[in-house]
Amino acid sequence: MDHSNAFLLQLTNNTIETSTLPSKPDSQLNEADLYYKDESHRLNKEQGLLSAYYRKLGEVIQDYDEVLLFGPTDAKSELLNLLKDNPLFDKVKIEAKPADKMTAVQQQTFVKEYFNITG
């Protein structure tokens, strides 16, 4: 995951299903926001969009018992910290691991290795 996309890999019976959840912050900022003279206005809008993205991810995560967050940016740690502060996630085992940018196959291998799945 990063600040623009989260690749959701669901592992069930040694099979991985993948979907993508984009954050879409750039597409939701209009041209006036990009060139607005007040930098704090633009940053506040970006932060609001990022918060909405993390809320969407939280809605997905709360349905699982164990979650691995990984990726090349700080987004995984930011999300982990938000989830740790929310009692809804007290029963969900969540861990964040650093990882370089990966292809879909590399992501699946990373998940299988983390959860000790062969095949």
What is the C-alpha separation between 35 and 16, in angstroms, rounded? 42
Residue 35 is predicted with a pLDDT of 58
Residue 41 is predicted with a pLDDT of 73
Residue 45 is predicted with a pLDDT of 78
Segments of the chain with pLDDT less than 50: 27-28
Residue 40 is predicted with a pLDDT of 79
Residue 94 is predicted with a pLDDT of 97
Q: Which domains does the chain have, with CATH numbers?
A: 5-114 (3.30.420)
